[in-house]
């Protein structure tokens, strides 16, 4: 199996956002699939919507991957999010316990966030022509100064200091396995593994939507990536991103 993810790596000492940098590079030339743009220092990392990603220089992994998943129909674009999330989970599970995916693609250790993923797709006709995957993974950072509610790093959890080069290589290998599953059409495995790793899966927990607070139980996601929550009365509600809040 030829490795796609990380087959070429470009390192930049300081960037505003690795996703923005990747998008700019893509405007000028056709880049190889799987190329990674690594920022040693990312000063304006972006999360979902208007969120920002805090990362101390040379302590963590902040990078973007360029993909050409034109084999996927638009209706299946959430499969990319699943595959990437699982790749990060697979990497972390070899180093620590209690790893999960907080829907749609935040990665948690216990009740704290260790990684964020930002996926930006370009659509042409009815296919995904290109996809930029931004990943921020807290590795060696010990102090977080932003107002993010619950950050954690690997070194917090294990007490160890990690080699970032080795960690990036291992992470790329794990994501690459999942991306090959995606390319091979093995959606069943990806879907099953993703649901199994969902944060708060099967547990009665508090949530909030436009109607206020409620108690529900996550039972999975539907085909287009909506979170499925069972209510106490047995009804099942489906939520798009930002339509429901974890309490």
pLDDT at 88 over 60: yes
Is residue 70 included in any domain, yes or no?
Answer: yes
Averaged pLDDT for residues 191-212: 97
* Co-location of 242 and 166 in the same domain: no
* Co-location of 240 and 181 in the same domain: no
Provide the domain count of the chain. 2
* Co-location of 123 and 215 in the same domain: no
* Co-location of 145 and 177 in the same domain: yes
* Co-location of 70 and 110 in the same domain: yes
Band (45; pLDDT cuts 50, 70, 90): low
pLDDT at 166 over 80: yes
Q: Give pLDDT, residue 148.
A: 78
* Co-location of 130 and 213 in the same domain: no
Is residue 116 included in any domain, yes or no?
Answer: yes
Q: What angle do helix axes 187-196 and 164-183 make, rounded to 10 degrees?
A: 130
Range of 229's domain? 204-246
Own/partner long-range contacts of 201-208 (Cβ < 8 Å, ≥24 apart): 201/100, 204/232, 205/246, 205/247, 206/247, 207/244, 207/245, 207/246, 207/247, 208/244, 208/245, 208/247
Is residue 2 included in any domain, yes or no?
Answer: no
Band (39; pLDDT cuts 50, 70, 90): very high
* Co-location of 33 and 140 in the same domain: yes
For residue 61, the Cα-to-chain-centroid distance in whole angstroms is 13
- The answer to whether 3 and 30 are in contact (CB under 8 A) is no
Q: Give pLDDT, residue 105.
A: 95
Is residue 184 included in any domain, yes or no?
Answer: yes
- What's the CA gap between 194 and 79, in Å, rounded? 10
* Co-location of 170 and 234 in the same domain: no
Mean pLDDT of the chain: 94
* Co-location of 211 and 128 in the same domain: no
Q: Give pLDDT, residue 57.
A: 87
* Residue 62 belongs to domain with CATH number: 3.30.930.10
* Co-location of 210 and 185 in the same domain: no
Averaged pLDDT for residues 77-84: 97
Q: pTM for the full model?
A: 0.94
Is residue 3 included in any domain, yes or no?
Answer: no
pLDDT at 51 over 80: no
**Distance in Å from the first CA to the final CA of the chain:** 43
* Helix segments in 55-163, DSSP class H: 78-93, 154-158
Averaged pLDDT for residues 86-112: 98
* Residue 242 belongs to domain with CATH number: 2.30.30.100
């Amino acid at each position: 199996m030829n490795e796609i993810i990380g087959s070429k790596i470009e390192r930049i000492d300081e960037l505003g956002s690795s996703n923005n940098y990747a998008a700019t590079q893509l405007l000028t030339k056709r880049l190889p699939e799987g190329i990674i743009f690594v920022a040693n220092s990312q000063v304006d990392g972006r999360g979902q919507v208007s969120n920002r990603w805090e990362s101390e220089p040379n302590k963590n992994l902040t990078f973007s991957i360029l993909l050409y998943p034109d084999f996927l129909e638009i209706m299946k674009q959430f499969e990319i999010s699943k595959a990437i999330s699982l790749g990060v989970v697979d990497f972390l599970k070899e180093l620590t316990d209690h790893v999960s995916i907080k829907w749609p693609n935040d990665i948690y250790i216990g009740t704290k966030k260790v990684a964020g993923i930002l996926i930006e797709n370009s659509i042409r006709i009815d296919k995904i022509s290109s996809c930029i995957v931004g990943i921020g993974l807290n590795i060696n950072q010990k102090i977080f100064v932003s107002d993010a509610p619950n950050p954690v790093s690997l070194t917090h959890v294990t007490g160890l200091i990690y080699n970032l080069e080795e960690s990036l290589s291992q992470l790329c290998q794990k994501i690459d396995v999942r991306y090959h599953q995606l390319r091979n059409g093995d959606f069943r495995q990806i879907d099953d593994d993703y649901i199994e790793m969902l944060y708060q899966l099967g547990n009665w927990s508090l949530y909030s939507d436009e109607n206020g607070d409620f108690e529900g139980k996550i039972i999975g996601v539907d085909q287009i990536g909506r979170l499925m929550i069972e209510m106490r009365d047995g009804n099942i509600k489906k939520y798009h991103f930002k339509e429901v809040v974890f309490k």
